[in-house]
Amino acid sequence: MTTLYGIPNCDTVKKARAWLDAQGVAYTFHDFKKAGVPPQLDAWIAALGWETVLNRKGTTWRKLDAAEQAAVQDAASAATLLRAQASAIKRPIVEWDDGSVTAGFAPEAWAARRH
């Protein structure tokens, strides 16, 4: 089963969910706000790289002070921050039914998985 991880009020997550619905893809939704950061965070970082999983463009990252931002220098420090600040995780993270993981919404790449 495909699982989409994110925050329900995130515009990108809304677009991703609408796309999955339109394509008839069965998925479950994991809400970071309600269910927290799952244990798979470390696997996501291993698969995608911590710099991909960490969203440096979002408001959560920008609201951190310079010392907090500077402290994120590797996978371990990124994981520590992301467990404390789930909103700093790039959204959505998708665990596909084939076992692969992606970060962000990429309709073209997602469509290619369907064929």
Stated as kind and residue range, the H or E segment containing 23 is helix 11-23
Whether 88 is a known active-site residue: answer no
Of 2, 3, 7, 10, the catalytic one is: 10
* Residues 97 and 2: beta-carbon distance below 8 Å: yes
Q: Give the chain's count of helices (H) and strands (E).
A: 8, 4
Q: What angle do CA 23, 25, 26 make, to 5 degrees?
A: 150
Q: Which active-site residues does the annotation give?
A: 10
